[in-house]
Amino acid sequence: MGKIVIQDTADVTITDLETGKVVLNAEAQLAGIKGSISEEDLKGGIGNKKLYKIRTDKAIDLAMRSAVADIEYWAMTQGVAVEENGKGQFTANTKGIVVVDSATSTNEIVLPDGAIVGTKAQVELPDGTQETLNVVVSLTDKTKKAVELAGAKGTFKAGQELHVFYQEEVEGQRISIDSTKFAGKYRVEMKTIAYDLDTAKVKADILFDFPETIPSGEFDISLENGNVYTPEINFAVINPKGADEMGSILLKPRK
């Protein structure tokens, strides 16, 4: 093969060994492979000479930082599957406009469309305090729900803007963070390219294969203005049952 130059990151493919499903095909910013062993000197004789190097406990750890986020990252670290139609209740908030029902002269705030849960909402009043008020069918739009301002402290007028907090049921992809569940086993493959030192052309594909790994359950989700969240996952490579080989590296020449 000769001398080569490696200057790129790797594409990473991760397969769930239980289901056979490829759960991630990632555009990595970083794909790291770190091998370690325990080494100890064997010494003896006059002067306590170094006689041998005892080498045991060979280990390989993988690290991946992806350029893009995917809910499968979090599911993998937590040992759970993604619920495709999962549901949850969350606090929604909106700046509502006071409207007046002409028939009853009742003030209300019409809420946005959505699966509103319960019959109560918190409204921030003009004096800065909050009051719990009833959520009812809107008098001005029977297809919507509204916060009834009757009995609330203060004076209200049409067009006035007030902050409203209420519970809403949301549906989408969901994962559970369960204290009793941990990550299963995955196959991790990495692929990058090598350049010829003399011609600067792509000379080979380099394929790294680790048939059995277990991802760490640790995760860090840091959300900051102006910075893209790039998830990181670490894997411990383990020996398949009855096997000595932990992984392999293959250089495939380009034709």
In tens digits, the chain (255 residues) has pLDDT values of 789 999 999 999 999 999 999 999 988 999 999 999 999 999 999 999 999 999 999 999 999 999 999 999 999 999 999 999 999 999 999 999 999 888 888 899 999 988 899 999 999 998 889 999 999 999 999 999 999 998 888 888 899 999 999 999 999 999 999 999 999 999 999 999 999 999 999 999 999 999 999 999 999 999 999 999 999 999 999 999 999 999 999 999 998
User: SS3 of 33, please?
Assistant: strand
Q: Which residues contact 78 (CB under 8 A, 6 or more apart)?
A: 175, 176, 177, 178, 181, 182, 183, 217
What is the rounded distance in angstroms from the CA atom of residue 141 to the CA atom of residue 52?
86
pLDDT of residue 238: 96
- CA–chain centroid gap for 43, Å, is 49
Contact 251, 3 (CB under 8 A): no
Measured between alpha carbons, how far is 16 from 198 in angstroms, rounded to an integer?
40
d(CA 187, CA 19): 11
- Dihedral sign for Cα atoms in the order 74, 184, 217, 64: negative
**All structural domains of the chain:** 4-39+53-82+175-253 (2.30.110), 85-173 (2.40.30)
pTM: 0.81
At residue 245, the pLDDT reads: 97
Rounded-to-integer distance, Cα 34 and Cα 234, Å: 11
> Are 229 and 221 contacting, i.e. CB atoms less than 8 angstroms apart?
yes
- Closest listed residue to residue 98, CA positions, set 22, 149, 52, 38: 149
- Rounded to whole angstroms, the Cα distance separating 120 from 21 reads 44
pLDDT at position 27 is 84
At 246 the pLDDT is 97
What are the helix (H) ranges across the chain? 71-78
Measured CA to CA, the distance from residue 241 to residue 218 in angstroms comes to 25
